[in-house]
Amino acid sequence: MPKGLSYPSFERAVGELCPGGRSSLAYTNQGRLWKDGFFSVASKTWFLALSRAPDFGARSEDIRARLKSDRLHVQRVADSVVDEPDGLTFALFAETLIGKKAYDQAVGVGEEKDDPQRLGIEYGKLITDAAVGPTSNQLDSNLSAMRSLAEADGHDWYHATWPELQDKWIYLSSTQRSFVIRRCQHALKHLDTYKFVDKLSTQELVRHLPTAATLLGAWPLIEKHDRLHDCPTCAAEYAHIQARDRALSSPP
């Protein structure tokens, strides 16, 4: 069972996002305002409520993974501008954490003055959302269930698919993560039928295991089969694909 975060360790991990020790942005006025904004969202009250969740350990793991990934990302950006006169500016730090689109929306395109507190709030929203909805443990459980159906033949699939999804998982919104879990469960339903009703061998079953791309939303999730139209979800996916292909093949 993953160990739950403490609030002091959470505060420390957020403080470590900015590289450079005591001379870093974290100790500038902008950095302090940014942290004020961040912790107004990811507050002790929020954390206390989260800590009461039965799966707090799993949610803590996802928060740790997101903060670690973000810290490494900021470090890579800082290394890339180390020879530039200004180095890692506050604006670049904030944009690295929330993305250019969210950054532009937060400060207003063309404005010269950043709003550190607002930028901290926006990042706080991303981190608190990482603790909402399905966890990476739930994702792993679903992938493990698919691997179990394919028995030893599913080993290579799992060890290729899990890391690819895990890297993307921490940057998906709670809505997107719920979508991926629904895709997993839909695939599991079909795989279960293939194995126990259609009596496919495990070697044949492996061909039907979904890729990371299909679980993330690429169509189709399931290969075409004789009872395709018995499943409204699969039928709708193939209808969309056929319509798209017709549109692409039609003369302009």
Same domain, 20 and 85: yes
Residues 48 and 66 in one domain: yes
DSSP codes, 141-191: HHHHHHHHHHGGGGHHHHHHHHHHHHHHHTTS-HHHHHHHHHHHHHHHHHH
Task: Indicate the residue among 129, 156, 177 that finishes a domain.
Answer: 129
**Do residues 182 and 121 share a domain?**
no
Domain closes at, from 129, 154, 181 = 129
Q: Domain for residue 23, yes or no? A: yes
**Quick one: 30 and 110 in the same domain?**
yes
The model carries a pTM of 0.89
User: Does the pLDDT at position 4 exceed 90?
Assistant: no
Last residue of one domain, picked from the residues 129, 146, 161? 129
Q: What is the pLDDT of residues 137-175, one digit of tens each?
A: 999 999 999 999 999 999 999 999 999 999 999 999 999
**2 lies in some domain:** no
Tell me if 120 sits within 8 A of 35, measured CB to CB.
Answer: yes
Q: Identify whether residues 181 and 245 lie together within a single domain.
A: yes
| Tally of domains within the chain | 2
The pLDDT of residue 178 is above 80: yes
Q: Which residues, including other chains, have CB under 8 Å from residue 147's CB and lie 6 or more apart?
A: 154, 155, 157, 158
Are the C-beta atoms of 216 and 180 separated by less than 8 Å?
yes
213 lies in some domain: yes
Statement to judge: residues 185 and 148 lie in one domain:
yes
Say yes or no: 17 and 121 in one domain: yes
Least confident range of 9-23, 175-189, 193-207: 9-23
Let me know whether 121 and 205 are in one domain: no
| Both tokens assigned to 232 | 């409204």
CA distance 100 to 94: 9
Residue 214, both tokens? 């299909």
In a domain, 1, yes or no: no
What is the span of the domain harbouring residue 17?
7-129
Rg of the chain over CA atoms, in angstroms? 22
Same domain, residue pair 166 and 244:
yes
Place of tokens 């792993």: 140
pLDDT band, very low/low/confident/very high, at 127 (cuts 50, 70, 90): very high
In a domain, 92, yes or no: yes
Same structural domain, 232 and 200: yes
Share above pLDDT 70 across residues of the chain, in percent, rounded to a whole number: 94
